[in-house]
Structure 1
Amino acid sequence: MTQQPTYTGDPKAHPISEFASGMSGSCLCGSITVTIHDPDLFTKRRGHLCHCSNCRKTSGSYVAANFAIDKSAVEIQDKNGTLKSYDDHATGSGKKVVRSFCGVDGNSIMSEAELYPDKVVLKMGLFPRIPAPEAEAFGAHKHEWEETLEGVVQFETARGGKKLEG
């Protein structure tokens, strides 16, 4: 008799109540753990999707699931010293974005933008659940086959800029 494979990562296996005080996630190899200390993580739409070329590249997908939060609410543990970074100067603003990743498994961890010195942009694929998105950046760069998400504000390019009419 063949054994069925065990799949991991089903977000429905983690009720929202499990994250009443915050949430932790890790890279694939487990060297880097990121903890969000925020009891309001799932009380309203909080995440954002980004369609810019740089975020798509770091996510390895057609969109990046991100979460911008105050640095003071985030704890990063790098038990094996594998956290590496890349200074990205090819941004729409011309301002540097430091993109951090695991040097062993290549997992994107976070971005830190000069434009927002008190914030960190976490890559939500690290976590067991992802807050519902409140906004999409670089909506003008979406592929024509991508759906428009109901209740999500779309910005033409940078978040907080000109809104797209949906």
Structure 2
Amino acid sequence: MASQSKFTGNPNAHDASIFSTGMTGTCLCGSISVTITDSELFTRPRGHLCHCTNCRKVSGSYVASNLAIEKEKIEVQDPKGKLKKYRDMETGSGKCVERCFCEECGSPIMSIPEIFPAMFVLKMGIFPRIPEPECEAFALHRHAWQGTHGDMTQFEIVRGGRKLR
């Protein structure tokens, strides 16, 4: 039986103050690292939970934790050339979203949406901590059993669109 010390993924073990200028995360095998340089990362709610089918499939879960952020705040290191891209054309906008993942371990890394050319959408599960999300997208696609996340804004479909609450 594995000892408790081998489980290093506890986000509560990392005080948010140590990420005052940014943070780095890696895929499961460590081949790809992503560094966010942003001094506001934990100063307010950031990012969103997405319930769209494509994000659910990419995350392997009932919801994806995403952070849309300016490309210039991100550095991706892939020294072994393991970052692969899937061109997803089955999107609500009809525009391509490149879904990036590690070919070695399968970890989702980020999405590159054609509709927002200056942004990356990071998959927050690769990071040691996740900022408190500011909203939920595709809230109409939530499962009835999910419950709610406090008083977080829920958009019916896209962020900035019609609100459910």
TM-score bracket for the superposition, by shorter chain length = over 0.9
Per-residue deviation, 1:68: 0.5
Per-residue deviation, 1:19: 0.2
Deviations 1:60-102 (A, max 9, x none): 0000000000000000000110000000000011111011000
Aligned residue number for residue 3 of structure 2: 4
Aligned length: 164
* 2:18 is aligned with 1:34: no
Aligned residue number for residue 77 of structure 1: 77
Aligned residue number for residue 141 of structure 1: 141
Task: Give the TM-score normalised by the residue count of structure 1.
Answer: 0.96
Per-residue deviation, 1:159: 1.1
| Distance in 1 separating the partners of 2:24 and 2:3 | 28
Moved >6 Å (runs of 4+): none
Alignment root-mean-square deviation, CA: 1.1
* 2:18 is aligned with 1:18: yes
Kindly provide the amino acid, as one letter, of the partner of residue 48 in structure 1: H
| Distance in 1 separating the partners of 2:96 and 2:162 | 22
- Which consecutive unaligned segments of at least 5 residues does structure 1 have? none
* 2:120 is aligned with 1:120: yes
Task: Give the TM-score normalised by the residue count of structure 2.
Answer: 0.96
Per-residue deviation, 1:22: 0.3
- Which consecutive unaligned segments of at least 5 residues does structure 2 have? none
Q: What is the percentage of aligned positions where both structures have the same residue?
A: 57
